[in-house]
Structure 1
Amino acid sequence: MSYPHQPYQPQPPKPSNTLSVVGIVLGCIAFLFCPPLFGIAGIICGVVANSKGERLGGTAIGVSVAGLIGGMLLGFVLFQGMYDI
């Protein structure tokens, strides 16, 4: 029994979530260490990932914004307590 010859049809590559995961990790790091640097970098990674159609791009943007704002608020509260401002 033979199968009819079918032409090769390449499958489109599945979009990776690499930039999205990097953006999420940077957003989490921004909560504790240097929020402006890591938060903005995470937002940029999330926006680029979202424009490429990655599934987690929007999540990366949200986590990075939350890490940026939360880290800045945490830093403000800690320094206010340290220096009694």
Structure 2
Amino acid sequence: MSSPQNPQYGDDPASGQPQWSQPPPPPPPYQPPYPQPQRQGAPVLSIIGFVCAAVSLLFIPILFGIAGIVLGIVGHVRGESLGKWAAVTSGITMVLGMIIGYLVVRSMTA
């Protein structure tokens, strides 16, 4: 009686020949389809845009609101994640500042 032997690692039991293969090469690193904007340092333009938004609520809304919108958009284009929100916030506070200014002027003349 003969017992079947376990084939060694890499041997093909059907042919009796060693079957050595190389592992597949690693996949290439992921490359995005277009270049991403590089963010360097703190989001300075976005922070200044938020400050302009806060100031536009009470002082010269049309000037500081537009400045905040422009700074937020430029910050967003340069890769700052808060730039979009600074622009939106500046637009909202500009409108609210104009409404508050209107109400204050109307109450003073009445």
With normalisation by structure 1, the TM-score equals 0.79
1:15, 1:53 within 8 Å by CA — same for their partners in 2?
no
Match of 1:3 in 2: none
After the TM superposition, list the runs of 4 or more consecutive aligned residues in structure 1 that deviate by more than 4 angstroms. none
Identity %: 36
Match of 1:22 in 2: 48
2:86 and 2:49 map into 1 onto residues whose CA distance is 5
Letter in 2 for 1:49: G
Number of aligned pairs? 73
2:49 and 2:90 map into 1 onto residues whose CA distance is 7
Displacement of 1:13: 5.9
Structure with more relative contact order (C-alpha pairs < 8 Å, separation 6 or more) = 1
After superposition, the C-alpha distances for 1:15-74 in whole angstroms (9 at most, x for unaligned) are: 531000000010000001110111110011001001111010111011101110010000
Greater Rg over alpha carbons, structure: 2
Task: Return 5+ residue gaps in structure 2 as ranges.
Answer: 1-37
Task: Return 5+ residue gaps in structure 1 as ranges.
Answer: 1-11
2:39, 2:78 within 8 Å by CA — same for their partners in 1?
no
